[in-house]
Structure 1
C-alpha cells in the first residue's frame, strides 16, 4: 500500500465514521472550551483591571496624616527615588439631594493632574471652579447641566469647606478609586453611607492643606502579581520614612510657631499689665489731687460760711440793740420837743445829733448785713461748684474702676487663654501617618476575590469534562478498533508494522482532538469571558473586557486533549497488536454468557418477560460499556445537579434575608433624634399603620481581623424592639442575646472573613484614623451585607460619640400596604428617606444574576456533555448490534418493539447513572460553594428538592432526544448487508 493509499484509507476511515469523529471533536471542544473559557476569564478580568488602572494611573500608595499635607510635603515625596509621581488631593463629604429631593451624602474629590484620573464617559471635564463631574453609577447623561447643591443639612464647618454653594455637573465619569458600583466608602456624616462621588477643581475647596497624598511607584507590575506586591513593598519604607520626616518637620514647625505666638502673647500681656498699672497710678493720682482740692475748697467755704454766720449774728444783735436805742431816743426826743417838757433846746439838738449818729450806725449795720448776704450767695455758688466737682470725681472714679476692672479681666482672660494654649501645646501629639495601598481600597481588593470565584469553578468542573472526554474517546476508539479487526489483521499480514497501523488510529483520534481543542479554546477564550464579564458588569462594569491569548494554557489544553485521545487510543490498540495476524483475521468469539445476580432471585426472574431478561443479561454482559455509560451519565448528572445547586444557593438568599432575618418592611431616616417624645409623636400619627418600630443609629465602619479589612454597617440601638425587627439566631435556630456594653454581635460572613469566633476581639475603625476593640458576644446568621450590632452605651463609651438614633425599622400592620405606609410617612415633616425591603430584595436578586450566568454556563455545558455522551455511547451500542438488530427484524419484530428492545438497556443504564450521579453532584456542589467567596454575601448552600427533579428530567430528556435520533438511524439499517457483514 503506497503512502497515498494509506492516507486515503485514513481519510475514508474519518469520513466513513464521521459521527464518531465529530463526537470526539465535540467532547474535546466542550471540555477545552469550558476549561479555557472559565480559566481565561480570570485572566481577562485581570487584564481589564490592569489596563484600566494603568490608563487612569491609579495610585499605588495613599497617605493620610492627622496634620494633612502641604505643597512642600508633595515636593519632598516627589524626590523619593522609589516614587514616580506624588500628588496631593482634597476630599470633603457633604449633604446634598437626589432627583427626588431625598437627602444623600456625596464625597467630593479635587481633580488631580496625573494620578487617579477619572475616566470621562459623557460630557466634558470641569473648566471653572464651580463645575464638577459626577459618578456614572448614580448620575446619568440626563443630569448634565444640572446643579449639585450643598444643602442646609451641612453645618457651618461643612459649608466652609467649599468655595461655592452649588456646582454644575458638566460630565459623567468612572473613577479608579471606586471600582465597585455599590461601594462608595464611609463618612462621619449622617448614617455614615456615601451615596456617590463628584470631582471638582482644586479651587472649589477652601482648604489650605491636602487631606491625602497619592503616589505611584517607579516599579510596578501586573495587578495582584507577586512582582507588583514585591515592588510596592520595596517602596514602602522610603515613602514612609520621607512622609514621617516631613511630618516631624511640620510638627516642629507647628510647635515652634505656636510657642512663638504664646511667647508673643505673654509679652503683650505683661506689657499690658505694666501699662495698666501706670494708667491706674496716673488716673487715681489725678483723682486724689482733684478730691484734695475739692476738700480744701469745701473746708474754706464751710469756714467762710461759719464766719459770715457769726458776723451776721453779731450785726443782727447790734442792729437789734441799736434799733431799740434809736426807738427810745426817738421817743425821748419826741417827748422833749413836746410843749411843756422843759428840756433845753440844746439838749434836744444834742439828742438829735446822737439819733443821727445812731441811724448812721444802723445804716452801716444794714450795709454789713447786705454784704454778708452777697458773700453767702457767693459761698453757696462755690458750694454748688464743689458738689459738681465731687460728682465729677465720683463718676470719674467709677468709670476708672470699671475700665480698669474690664482691662484686668481682659488680661486675666488672655492669661487663661495662654495657659490653655500652653496646656494644649503640651498635649499636641506627633502626626499619625496612615499608609494605604491599593488593597486597602475595598473595590480593588474585592475584585481579585470575585475573579477567583470563576477561577475556583475552573479548578473543579473541567476535571469532570476531561475525565468524561477520556471515557468517550476510550469507548469510541475501542469500538472502532474492534470493528476494523479484520482490516488490522490484513494490514499486519501485508507487512505493516504495529506502529504504522497504530498511527492510523492515532491520526484519527488525535486530529479530532486537535481540531476540537483549537476550536474549543478559541471559542471558549472569547465568549466565556465576555458572558461572565457581562454578568459581573452589575458589580463592576468600569471598562469593556480585555481578551488575551494564554499560550501556556493553550499548550496545557492541547496536551490534555491529546492525552485523552491518543492515550486511550494507544491503550485500545496495544491489546489488539499483541495477537498474531491469523488470530486478528478471525472474528472475535462472542463473550460467554453468565448468570447474573438477578437470575438468582427466582421469584422476580420468573415474572420477567423474555426480552426484559435479554436486556438485563446484555447490560451485565458488556461490563465495560456499562461502566462507561454509568460513569459518563453519572458525571453529567453530577455537573447538572451542581449547577442547579449553585442556583438554589444563590437565588434564594434575598428572599430568606428579607423575610426570615430582616423581618421589618422598611427603614426610615429622620432629621431629628428619635427620642421618646418624637417616637410618641410618630406613633400618635401612624400607630394604627405600624405594628413594630425599632429606633437605631446607623454608621459605616471598617472591621479588621485576621489581617483582613472589610467595610460593614455599624448598627447602634438601645431599643428592645430591635429583636423583633431583626432575627438574631444561629443557622440552626438558636437565639443570640443582644450585646452588652463593650460587646458586639456580628454576622456569620463577617466572622468568617475576619477569622473571628465568639469571645474574640474585633477591631472597628471609624473616621479614617480611629479604632476601638469590641468583644464578639455572638455570631448570627445573615445572608446579605455585613453588620456589627452594639448598644448605645458602647457607642458613647468606646467611640466617644453621642447616641442619637435617627433611623427606625418599621413593620407595617396587617391590612396596611407597605407602599401605602411609605407614601403616608413621606408626608411627615422630619422624614429624610425611606428604604423598602422589597425594593432592596429585588436589587439583591438582580445582583445575583452575575452568578446565575455562570450557573447557566455550567448547566448548559453539562447538558451538552450529557447529550454528546448519550449520543456517542448510544451510537456505539447501535453499531455493535447491527447484525442482532437485523436478525430480530427478520424474525418479524415491529419497529416499536425493536426500539424498545435496543434502547431499553440505554435507558436502564441512564437511570443507574443518574442514581450514581446525584450523590456525587451533592458532594461536588458542597465543594464548589466552599470555593465561591463573595464579600457581604453568605450563600445558603442548599439544593432544593425541585433541583433533583429538574436534574433527572434534564438527563432523561437528553436521553429521549438521543433515543429518537438513533431510532431513525436504526430504521435505515440494511438487513441484508448487516447479516452478511461477517462474511
Structure 2
C-alpha cells in the first residue's frame, strides 16, 4: 500500500512537472534571497573582524602635540586596561609636486598593525623600503631606487623598493588621510626601518586593550568596551600634559638662561672696560650684546608661554575606510531585515494557495480512497510527501545557494577596501527560518485542506463541487455601458468578480512583486541622492581651508565667495546617557550671508531656521541619536572640557553630524577663545585636476595649513556592496514576478479547464480563447501594478528608515523612472506568460476535460 501511494505521488509530480517545479522555484527564490541577503551583513562583519584580528589592528592610537616619550610609553604599557603597546616613528613629506607620503618606522618586533605583503618582502636592512600597494599606480616597481627629499627626520634619503603592502590602518583602498603638507592629501604610505629615524620622540603609540578580542569589530559592544578602556587609559596619563610641558621647557630654559648669564657677564666686562676708557669700539659691542639679550629674553618668554601639549586618543573609527566599511555592512543588514522577509512572505502566500488548490482539486480522488477503505493517515500521506518534497527541496537548495552565492558576490564588488579574504558564517538560524517557512507554505497548507476535506463523507467528496453562482456586477447595472460591451468582455468582467478569492490572490501576488521591484529602485535613488542632496540642498560650500591665523582670508580668482568660521570636531553626549557621537561644530564669524554656505531648514516643517545667541542648531540624525528636541540640552566635550548647550533648532541633514552656533553663543559657552581659523569657500573648480591645482595655489599662501573638499572625500555607499544588493533585489524580484505570474496563470487554467474547453467546442479560435483569459490577466496586472506602487513606496520608506546607521540619514525619494521600470518589468513578464499560456490553451484536450464528472 505504501509502495502504491509512493507511486501515486511520483505520478502526481510527473503529470504536473510545471506546477511542482514552480512551487520549488518560488520557495527556492524566497529562501535564496532571504538567507543570502541576511547573511551579507554578518559575513562582511566577520570578514573584517578576522582581517583585523590576523593583522593585529590596534584599538587606539595616542598622539601628543609635543610628541611622546619613553615615559609616556611606560605609563601606557603599565595601564591596567592595556594588553600591549608599540611606539611608532612617522613623518609626512612632500616627495614631489604631485605626491605627499607618510613614512612610518618598521619594527620587526612590533606586535600591532602588522603589514600584509602584496608582493616582495618587508624591510630587512636600513636601505630598504616598502610602499603602499596603491603606489603602484604611480609607476613604482620592485627593485627601483626610491628617493625622499632632505629632511631633519630621516638619516638617509635613498632607498630600494623591496615590497608593496597593505596596512590594516587603512581599510579604504584610496583614502590615506589629510595633512598640512603639500596638497593637503596624503597619496600613500611607506615603511622604512625604524633605525633610519632621527626623531627624539615618538609620533604615536598604538594600543591594544585587554579582552578587546572578545568583542567583534564594528559592533556597538566593541565600541562601548573601547570607550570604557580609553577612559581608564586617559586616567593613567592624567597630569602628563603639564609634566611633558615641563620636560620640554626645562632644558630649553636652562640653555637660554645659561646664554643670558654669559651675555650679562660680557656686558659687565664691557662696562668695566668702558669706565677705564680702554676702547672706542666698546660701544658697538655693547649694542650687539643688548640685541642678543633681547632675542634670548624673547625666546625665554616664548618657551615659558608654551601651551600645554594636547593628548588625543584616536580609536579605529578615525582610520580611513574603517567606519565606511561597517556603515555599509550595517546598512545592508538593516535592509535585509525587511526586504527578504516580504519577498519570502509573497513566496509563501502563492505557494500556500497553490498547494491548497491542488489538494482541493483532488477531492474526488480523496473521496474514492476513503470509500475503498483507506484511512485518513494513508490518504494524507501522498500529499504530505508531495508538500515535504517541494518545501524541503526549495528551502534547502535556496538556503544553501543563497549562503554560498550572494554574500561572496557582494564582497567581490567591494572594491573600495583592502579586505581581500572572504570569511563566511553558516547562517543556521536563517536557514532554519526558511525551512520552517517553506514547510508552512507547503505542508501546512496541504494539511489544512486535508483536515477540512477528510471531515466530509466520501459520497460528498466524490461529487464535484457546484460552480459558484453568477451574480450581477456593478458595471452590469450601468445599462448603456454594459450594452456596448461584446460577449467576451461581458464574460471577462463577470468572471473577475465571480471569483473574488482568485482576483485578490492574483492582484496581491503581482502587487507584491511590483512593490519589491519599485522599492529596489527607490533604495538605489536614495543612496545615489545622499551626497548630492547633502552638498546641493544643505551645504553649498565646496571647500574648507584651515589657517594658522584667525580670520585670515584666502586669495584666488577661482574662489567666488568665502566665510570665516570656527570648524572643529566635538563629542556630543545626551543628558544622563553614556552614548556619544562625534560631530562637527561650525560657528561663522558673522551670520551675514551664511545661508549662501549652509541652508538651515527645519526637519519637521522645512521652514528656514536662523542662528540664535541662545543655543545651537543640530542636524536631524544627531537629534535622533541624542533623543534631543527643541529646548533640550546636550553635552559637548571639546578641548578636554565639557559644556552644556541648548538646542534651539533641528535642521534637515543627510550625511554627518553637525552643530551650528553664533559667535556670541560660542564665546559664551566654549572654554576657548573664538578663533575663526577655517574658511568655507565656494568655487566652480570641482573636477579632480581643478581641485588639485586650487589646493596647490592656496597652500602656497602664507598661513594656509590645509585645504579639503568634503563632498569629494566622502565614499559613495552605492558604489560597492549596497548598490550590488539593490541590483540583486531587483533581479530576484523580477524572477519572482515571472514565477508567480506563471503559477497563478496555471491555477487559473486548471480551475477553468471545463469552461475553456466548452468555449473551444463552441467554435472559439485559439487566439480568441487566449484573449478570453489574457483580458482578465491584463486587468489583474494593471491593478496589481497600481497597488504595488503603493506597497513599494511604503516598503521603501520603511527600509530606508531602518537603514539609517551612524551619521547617515537617507533622503526618502523614488524618481519616476523607478515607477516606470517596475511597471514595465511586470508587464513584460506578463506578456511572456501570456505567450506561454497561449500554447497551453492550444493543447487543451477538450474531450477529456468535458467528460462526465459522474
Shorter-chain-normalised TM-score: which range?
Answer: 0.7 to 0.9
On the 8 A contact 1:90/1:110 being kept in 2, the answer is yes
Q: CA deviation at 1:962?
A: 0.9
In structure 1, what is the Cα distance between the partners aligned to 2:401 and 2:695? 53
1:908 has 2:779 as partner: yes
Q: CA deviation at 1:702?
A: 5.7
User: Greater shift after overlay, 958-967 or 620-629?
Assistant: 620-629
On the 8 A contact 1:450/1:933 being kept in 2, the answer is no
CA shift in 2, pair 1:970/1:831, >3 Å: farther
User: 2:277 is matched with which residue?
Assistant: 395
Aligned residue for 1:140, secondary structure, equals helix
Aligned residue for 2:199, secondary structure, equals coil
In structure 1, what is the Cα distance between the partners aligned to 2:152 and 2:644? 34
Q: CA deviation at 1:32?
A: 0.8
User: 1:40 is matched with which residue?
Assistant: 39
1:777-816 matches, cutoff 5 A = 781=652, 808-811=681-684
User: 2:214 is matched with which residue?
Assistant: 221
In structure 1, what is the Cα distance between the partners aligned to 2:135 and 2:588? 28
Counterpart of 2:802 (choices 912, 931, 943) is: 931
Unaligned runs of 5+ in 2: none
In structure 1, what is the Cα distance between the partners aligned to 2:46 and 2:447? 40
User: Greater shift after overlay, 891-900 or 791-800?
Assistant: 791-800
Cα displacement string for residues 472-531 of structure 1 (whole angstroms, at most 9, x for unaligned residues):
222211221122222211221232221222232121112111111111111111221123
Counterpart of 1:556 (choices 427, 430, 433) is: 433
In structure 2, what is the Cα distance between the partners aligned to 1:643 and 1:412? 73
Q: CA deviation at 1:53?
A: 0.5
User: 1:160 is matched with which residue?
Assistant: 152
In structure 1, what is the Cα distance between the partners aligned to 2:499 and 2:162? 75
On the 8 A contact 1:703/1:709 being kept in 2, the answer is yes
On the 8 A contact 1:673/1:806 being kept in 2, the answer is no
Q: CA deviation at 1:50?
A: 1.3
User: 2:770 is matched with which residue?
Assistant: 899
In structure 2, what is the Cα distance between the partners aligned to 1:725 and 1:267? 54
User: 2:454 is matched with which residue?
Assistant: 577
User: 2:747 is matched with which residue?
Assistant: 876
Aligned residue for 1:636, secondary structure, equals helix
Counterpart of 1:851 (choices 719, 722, 725) is: 722
On the 8 A contact 2:123/2:193 being kept in 1, the answer is yes
Aligned residue for 1:928, secondary structure, equals helix
On the 8 A contact 1:473/1:569 being kept in 2, the answer is no
Counterpart of 1:126 (choices 123, 140, 145) is: 123
On the 8 A contact 1:133/1:172 being kept in 2, the answer is yes
TM-score in terms of structure 2 length: 0.82
CA shift in 2, pair 1:11/1:81, >3 Å: farther
Aligned residue for 1:160, secondary structure, equals coil
In structure 1, what is the Cα distance between the partners aligned to 2:687 and 2:170? 33
Cα displacement string for residues 721-762 of structure 1 (whole angstroms, at most 9, x for unaligned residues):
77556656567775555x689987776566666666677788
In structure 2, what is the Cα distance between the partners aligned to 1:677 and 1:417? 29
In structure 2, what is the Cα distance between the partners aligned to 1:130 and 1:591? 92
Aligned residue for 1:536, secondary structure, equals coil
CA shift in 2, pair 1:736/1:189, >3 Å: farther
1:286-365 matches, cutoff 5 A = none
On the 8 A contact 1:674/1:806 being kept in 2, the answer is no
1:616 has 2:493 as partner: yes
User: 1:87 is matched with which residue?
Assistant: 86
1:172 has 2:164 as partner: yes
1:962 has 2:829 as partner: no
User: 1:591 is matched with which residue?
Assistant: 468
CA shift in 2, pair 1:663/1:227, >3 Å: closer
Unaligned runs of 5+ in 1: 152-158, 288-391
In structure 2, what is the Cα distance between the partners aligned to 1:50 and 1:880? 55
TM-score in terms of structure 1 length: 0.72
On the 8 A contact 1:792/1:803 being kept in 2, the answer is no
On the 8 A contact 2:184/2:707 being kept in 1, the answer is no
User: 2:195 is matched with which residue?
Assistant: 203
Cα displacement string for residues 184-219 of structure 1 (whole angstroms, at most 9, x for unaligned residues):
445566887655444343234332222332233453
User: 1:919 is matched with which residue?
Assistant: 790
On the 8 A contact 1:78/1:85 being kept in 2, the answer is yes
In structure 1, what is the Cα distance between the partners aligned to 2:573 and 2:227? 21
In structure 1, what is the Cα distance between the partners aligned to 2:644 and 2:92? 26
User: 2:10 is matched with which residue?
Assistant: 11
In structure 1, what is the Cα distance between the partners aligned to 2:320 and 2:625? 14
Cα displacement string for residues 93-127 of structure 1 (whole angstroms, at most 9, x for unaligned residues):
44454xxx34x655443335220112222343334
In structure 2, what is the Cα distance between the partners aligned to 1:469 and 1:142? 53
1:531 has 2:409 as partner: yes
On the 8 A contact 1:39/1:458 being kept in 2, the answer is yes
CA shift in 2, pair 1:583/1:818, >3 Å: closer
In structure 1, what is the Cα distance between the partners aligned to 2:622 and 2:162? 40
Cα displacement string for residues 688-707 of structure 1 (whole angstroms, at most 9, x for unaligned residues):
xx8x4447689774664554
Cα displacement string for residues 621-641 of structure 1 (whole angstroms, at most 9, x for unaligned residues):
222222221221121121112
On the 8 A contact 1:698/1:807 being kept in 2, the answer is no
User: 1:457 is matched with which residue?
Assistant: 335
On the 8 A contact 1:694/1:719 being kept in 2, the answer is no
In structure 1, what is the Cα distance between the partners aligned to 2:47 and 2:347? 32
In structure 1, what is the Cα distance between the partners aligned to 2:294 and 2:138? 61
1:386-425 matches, cutoff 5 A = 394-396=276-278
In structure 2, what is the Cα distance between the partners aligned to 1:489 and 1:49? 60
User: 1:488 is matched with which residue?
Assistant: 366
User: 2:848 is matched with which residue?
Assistant: 977
In structure 1, what is the Cα distance between the partners aligned to 2:460 and 2:727? 51
1:140 has 2:137 as partner: yes
CA shift in 2, pair 1:226/1:588, >3 Å: same
User: 1:860 is matched with which residue?
Assistant: 731
Q: What is the number of equivalent residue pairs in this alignment?
A: 838
User: 2:112 is matched with which residue?
Assistant: 115
Aligned residue for 1:207, secondary structure, equals coil
On the 8 A contact 1:694/1:808 being kept in 2, the answer is yes
Cα displacement string for residues 451-478 of structure 1 (whole angstroms, at most 9, x for unaligned residues):
1211112211222222222222222112
Cα displacement string for residues 50-83 of structure 1 (whole angstroms, at most 9, x for unaligned residues):
1100111111343345665444654565566764
Aligned residue for 2:216, secondary structure, equals coil
Aligned residue for 2:497, secondary structure, equals helix
Counterpart of 1:889 (choices 745, 753, 760) is: 760
1:510 has 2:502 as partner: no
1:390-789 matches, cutoff 5 A = 394-396=276-278, 435=313, 437-439=315-317, 441=319, 443-538=321-416, 540-653=417-530, 656=533, 679=555, 692-694=560-562, 701=569, 704-706=572-574, 707-710=579-582, 724=596, 734-735=607-608, 781=652
In structure 2, what is the Cα distance between the partners aligned to 1:198 and 1:700? 29
User: Greater shift after overlay, 919-928 or 725-734?
Assistant: 725-734
On the 8 A contact 2:597/2:680 being kept in 1, the answer is no
User: 2:19 is matched with which residue?
Assistant: 20
Q: CA deviation at 1:585?
A: 1.7
Aligned residue for 1:396, secondary structure, equals coil
CA shift in 2, pair 1:65/1:980, >3 Å: same
Cα displacement string for residues 142-170 of structure 1 (whole angstroms, at most 9, x for unaligned residues):
2334747459xxxxxxx534445576655
On the 8 A contact 2:260/2:293 being kept in 1, the answer is yes
CA shift in 2, pair 1:807/1:204, >3 Å: farther
Q: CA deviation at 1:898?
A: 0.7
Q: CA deviation at 1:965?
A: 0.7
Cα displacement string for residues 382-434 of structure 1 (whole angstroms, at most 9, x for unaligned residues):
xxxxxxxxxx995238789999999999999989988998x76xx996x8765
Q: CA deviation at 1:564?
A: 2.2
In structure 1, what is the Cα distance between the partners aligned to 2:697 and 2:62? 44
CA shift in 2, pair 1:585/1:804, >3 Å: closer
Q: CA deviation at 1:871?
A: 0.7
Tell me how large the CA RMSD over aligned residues is. 5.1
